[in-house]
Structure 1
Amino acid sequence: MMVGYSPRLTQLVTWCLMALSKTGRLVQVGTGEGKSCIVAMFAAFRVLEGQKVDIMSSSAVLANRDLKDWKEFFEKLKIKANCNVMKLEQDLKKCYKCPVVYGIVEQFAGDWLKQRFHKMDIFDQRKFQCAIVDEADSLMLDKSNHMVYLSTDMPALQHLDPLLALIWATANQYSKISSAITVGKKHLVPQILLDNVQSTRVDEFSILQIAENTGLLAKGGKRAALVICKTINHAEALKKALKDKGSSNKLYINNNMDNEAILKTKLEAGDVIIATNLAGRGTDLQVSDSVKAAGGLFVVQTFLPENARVEAQAFGRTARQGSPGSAQLIFCIEHLCRE
């Protein structure tokens, strides 16, 4: 990755802002601008100043990926780097002796609790000096209610999980209006979309023609697509629905899974990746030259996002770092008409 690599202007400017800051700084970089490069450069800068650096990623897969991608960079600077994910106690001690440690916040928190309360010598003399949070919105917002517990001999409370799940599922089927009157059952956009895809009334050629006429698809070209669903169940249902459509579709539902085969292979024309929104976060899907010539990766979001941040994360999977691509929010209009 380091051979012939030159940081882009956005990356250099962002690094300068971080390096010149005397206190903590929150930096927003556009999706696809190469945050992992900025993080690696800033981590190296802090280590060369004599500090230990902890890099907190949004998932174990991304932490391992970034370490692998930038290990050669750190080695050229004679900086040791490691990852704290899925390690035994003796391996963790070796890991935390490195100046740069990639990992997930749950692992950092769990190791700190073990050191503090179980008196396990994990960190040795290492202190928290510099923390870099990659995907800060994921940690502060999406995972703000996540907690890390130390295991004990107390009777397991997980037996209550089925009851709590039933209560939540039941309550989630209804919505309230301002007058506090409970109205009808919700209709999920992905399920309605699936029903229409499976319907014999769908004219696939007409849909393709509309896409070409509106510029979403290059005339005569064939692209690769990323379809983003709200939940794992919806992603699995859509994969099943498309199974007989002739597309080469792959299921990528969790960014804590080992999806290296999907991420390393360039997508060819006609390939379809079906993912959840969280699985798509931070991933950089590669496409073939023929797909780029046809307009690049086409992203389809099958649900109404809760806010602009979620929409930007989804649409940011394409047109990254100057490459072509487009995105579209697609849902059934009947959903808006049903009570």
Structure 2
Amino acid sequence: MKEILGYMTEELPKHAKEDLDQVKIEEAKQMIKSLDFTNPDLAVLKEVLIRMSIAVQDCSTIYTQNGKNIEGYFPSITQLASLLMLLLPKLTGKKGILLEIGTGEGKSCILAMFATIQSIRGTKVDVVTSSAVLARRDQEEWKKLYDMFGVTSSVVPPPQIQGSSPESRDSMLQEAYRKQLVYGTVGSFAADALRQEFEKDTTRGERRFDMVIVDEVDYMTLDNGVQVTFLSHEASGLRHLRQVLASIWAMVSMCQPIEMENTGEIEWTTGIQHFHKAAKLAVIGPATSKDFSEFHILEAGVELGIYSDEDFDMFMHALENTEKDDTTENRRTVDTFMAKVGITQQCDLLTIMEKALENDVDIDCYSVTNNKAVLVKEKMLHNNPDILEIKMLLLENGRASEIIPEKNSLRQLS
């Protein structure tokens, strides 16, 4: 750090009259993206600090009405040292860092530079301030810097939200959280996170909790350490039931009526999903078992020649990756694999499943023809009341659902 700060002290004054054009800005962004903060290239890091300092000077320049300009300022050595300490904590094996910045030493400038660099690298940044007034002030003060580097920014709640309808309020909040860099108070962030978690609102959308920068951390932890965020409701007595009602509605909305071709009766599908999940749920239920999982149903497909060992391994690998990173490539791998499990293949797999369960289960396979459930193949009747009888609706692309009578669907909800 001493070498870098010495270089900046000597080199920065040489750039006092320099402005950043779009080419230099794009070059700076590429350098920022290429930096490895666990083992940084010092030459690249120095150039990034030079260009970021020039950008700060450009953004702090004041243009008067009479045509005279009040020249902006370069970040001080203290500010650059603080920025380096924020950027390079991993050199000491730490994930985060706490800095004490004296009054008047420019916390907002330090945070603006740090947030800009992190946002350019694709990190979603939440900046927590001690008041809504400061959040709005800092975002407006440094918006020019953010715009210069193509970083989108906002404040929550947005200033124009006052007096708006509930629908407009939700829309404005969602738009604010789509920005790369969001300013707000700890109360605002907590309330929005709670709404999404407990009320199932989409306030934050798909915004990740990547990085939080806390301005005046002592205010949040000491001065105002005990904070209560209350999600108000018109009928407070019902707010505890909201999750239960939402779960019931999710189950009800999945059930769809279907006419049985052989009896003319109306029965219900319990929700279309991947075949192996539907089969396991129908036979064993939602409980998990270390001895049996839905993937055991698919393993038999290798022996039947429906797919190869390599296909199955790629499918399992893609599923595992999807839980960590739901990318288009992983979803495509899963869909390609499941497309091989057609209606005939599903029947064969269910037959093997019946045998594996020692014929304690009798599964009738149905497909859809003219919006009716049609039996795929007739089976021998049995008179054993202890055998569990199951009806499965089989669809192409490895999709399926259990079919149950209406009385069973009501029992399932209760």
Normalised to the residue count of structure 2, the TM-score between the two structures is: 0.37
Q: Rg larger in 1 or in 2?
A: 2
Q: Which has the higher helix share?
A: 2
TM-score (norm 1): 0.44
